[in-house]
Amino acid sequence: MSAEEKTIVIVGAGQAGGWAAQTLRGEGFGGNIVLIGDEAHRPYERPPLSKSVLAGEALPETTRLQKPEAFDALNVDWRPRVSATRIDRSAKQLHLSGGNVVGYDKLILCTGGRARKPGIPGSELPGVFTLRNLDDAAALGAALAPDKRLLVIGGGWIGLEVAATTRRKGLDVTVVEAMQRLCERTVPPEISGYLQRLHVSNGVRVELGTGIERLAQGADGTGLIATLVDGRTLACDVVLAGIGLIANDELAREAGLQCEGGIVVDPQCRSSDPNILAAGDVAVWHCERAGRRMRLESWQNAQEQGIAAARSALGMAVNHQPLPWFWSDQYGINLQIFGMPAPEHHRVVRGDMESDSFVVFFLDAGKVVAALGPNAARDLRFARRLIERGASVDAGQLADLQIPMSKL
């Protein structure tokens, strides 16, 4: 069978799926590409949803991966509002909602994840939202009038970005986090403390080490009352649950593919079935830098792994081992993280952590393995080079502001 007669099916039309489709054409694949998405929207990027789109500063169409004419030029069989219901691996067929069946030579699963819901009494009441897609952003944005009170459940990145966006719109905002510090799973205590100071200084109330036990309608029929596990109550009008992501791996599990909280793939993005690949938020891969399997929920990984999966599907040499990179914008502060910080790493601070511009380096055996900080893009670019090169550095020089990073 010639390449022009082959069919590659992509399930999931988010950033990973959109980049997979674009890469297939960019690498010269002339066969049939079927792109299946359960949303009405063409592939788009998610980071603006909690920031500029939610703030009303950017239109939804600005999030698109490709301009309409560029997407049309890809000549894909685009199927919006369609879900994949079953994979028949022996027949190499994908069953779709509505009863249609499509055959594939290679199948790329970019099914992403869904927002985790609180699972507490009252969580289905009007005024309680999650934020995962464009429609979520539109619904939440419509509810966020300046005179409203917002309760954010979860002090992770989504929750904090929404808190920052809504405070700038003038809303009264409270963040409730069950763990002892903000973003505890992803950043060291110093950065958690910085984030807390940043939000408190901008008027956000932060409640740590407690959770929401239940939500109820206000006594007068308006607003909501949140009861904390310690018995206190908080009055609010809108609730955002930002408590994590559940990988959409059900389709793969039901097909018998290896899954561990996501679809397990090798460095070539192949699942336990070599004809089925996975990329983006749903993919679980062994990160050599972290020394463990992980899912990486980031803009960077969705794009790069989508590209890698497409190339792998074409038989090209692929070894997906990116340097993890994450960024967040809050109150005009840009915080970036390179690498995987760990508690056992030696920490070196460059700059004043009480300011809004500094870098924390993480060293292992004298080598920089991770770095993070706010408003330090230039220093972090040099830090990235140090991490990628695996070069030994002097901790004293790293901390010395009189020594330019470029000299290291």
Tens digit of each residue's pLDDT (9 = 90 or more) over 202-232: 999 999 999 999 999 988 778 999 999 999 9
| Among candidate residues 209, 241, 273, the one where a domain is terminated | 241
146-189: per-residue pLDDT in tens? 899 999 999 999 999 999 999 999 999 999 999 999 999 989 99
What is the Cα–Cα distance from 131 to 139, expressed in whole angstroms? 9
Whether residues 213 and 306 fall in one domain? no
What is the rounded CA–CA span in Å between residue 215 and residue 400? 50
Residue 403 is classified by DSSP as: S
Mean pLDDT confidence for 237-249: 96
Residue 162 has φ and ψ, to the nearest 5°, of: -65, -40
The tally of domains found in the chain comes to 3
**pLDDT confidence of 324, banded at 50, 70, 90?**
very high
Burial of 91 (0-12, 13-18, 19+ CB in 10 A): exposed
Between 394 and 275, the more confident residue is: 275
Q: Print the domain residue range for 136.
A: 117-241
pLDDT at residue 220, rounded to an integer: 79
Instruction: Please check whether residue 135 is in contact with residue 166, taking contact to mean a CB–CB distance below 8 angstroms.
Output: no
Work out the end-to-end distance of the chain between its first and last CA atoms, rounded to an integer number of angstroms. 53
- Tens digit of pLDDT for each residue in 7-21? 999 999 999 999 999
Helix (H) / strand (E) element for 44: namely none
| CB neighbour list of residue 108: distance below 8 Å, 6 or more residues apart | 8, 9, 10, 11, 17, 20, 276, 277, 278, 279, 309, 310, 313
Q: Mean pLDDT of all residues in the chain?
A: 94
Instruction: Count Cα atoms within 13 angstroms, Cβ side, for 323.
Output: 18
| Residue 229 sits in the same domain as residue 250 | no
Q: Please report which confidence band the pLDDT of residue 1 belongs to, taking 50, 70 and 90 as the band edges.
A: low
190 and 260 part of one domain: no
Query: CA–CA separation, 198 vs 185, rounded Å?
Result: 19
Is 318 part of any domain? no
For residue 232, tell me if it sits in a domain.
yes
Percentage of the chain lying above the pLDDT 90 cut: 89
| pLDDT at res. 407 | 81
- Per-residue pLDDT at 3: 64
Q: Do 261 and 355 belong to one domain?
A: no
pLDDT score at 381:
93
Does some domain include residue 320?
no
Q: Is the pLDDT of residue 391 over 90?
A: no
Same domain, yes or no: 16 and 96:
yes
CATH number assigned to the domain comprising residue 193? 3.50.50.60
Token pair 């010269």 in the structure block, residue: 28
Which 3 state secondary structure label does DSSP give 218? coil
Same domain, 110 and 121: no
Q: Mean pLDDT across the stretch 292-310?
A: 95
3 state SS of 140:
helix
Residue 305 lies in a domain: yes
365 and 219 co-located in one domain: no
Please determine, for residue 24, whether its predicted confidence score (pLDDT) is greater than 80: yes
Q: Looking at the structure, tell me whether residues 133 and 79 fall in a common domain.
A: no
DSSP code string of 12-35: --SHHHHHHHHHHHHTT--SEEEE
pLDDT digits (tens, 9 = 90+) for 85-104: 999 999 999 999 989 999 99
Residue type at 185 in one-letter notation: R
Cα-based torsion angle of the residue sequence 330, 387, 264, 260 in order, rounded to the nearest 10 degrees:
-60
Pair 140, 236 in one domain:
yes
The pTM score is 0.94
105 and 143 housed in the same domain:
no
**Are residues 383 and 367 part of one domain?**
yes
User: Sorting pLDDT into bands at 50, 70 and 90, what band is 129?
Assistant: very high
The residue-averaged pLDDT of 271-283 equals 98
Tell whether 82 and 177 lie within a shared domain: no
CA distance 376 to 350: 10
Is residue 307 scored above 90 in pLDDT?
A: yes
**Which of residues 214, 241, 268 is at a domain's end?**
241
Cα–Cα distance, 231 to 173 (Å, whole number): 20
Please say which residue of 241, 261, 293 terminates a domain: 241
The answer to whether residue 323 is domain-embedded is: no
In this prediction, residue 73 carries a pLDDT of 96
| Tokens 């990984």 -> residue | 301
For residue 327, being part of any structural domain is answered with: no
Structure tokens at 257: 């593919």
The residue with greater pLDDT, 255 or 402, is: 255
Instruction: Give the residue from 344, 350, 389 showing the smallest Cα distance to 368.
Output: 389
* Residue 395 maps to a domain: yes
* Contact in structure between 368 and 383 (CB atoms under 8 Å): yes
Asked whether residue 144 carries a pLDDT value surpassing 90, the answer given is yes
pLDDT higher than threshold 90 for residue 252: yes
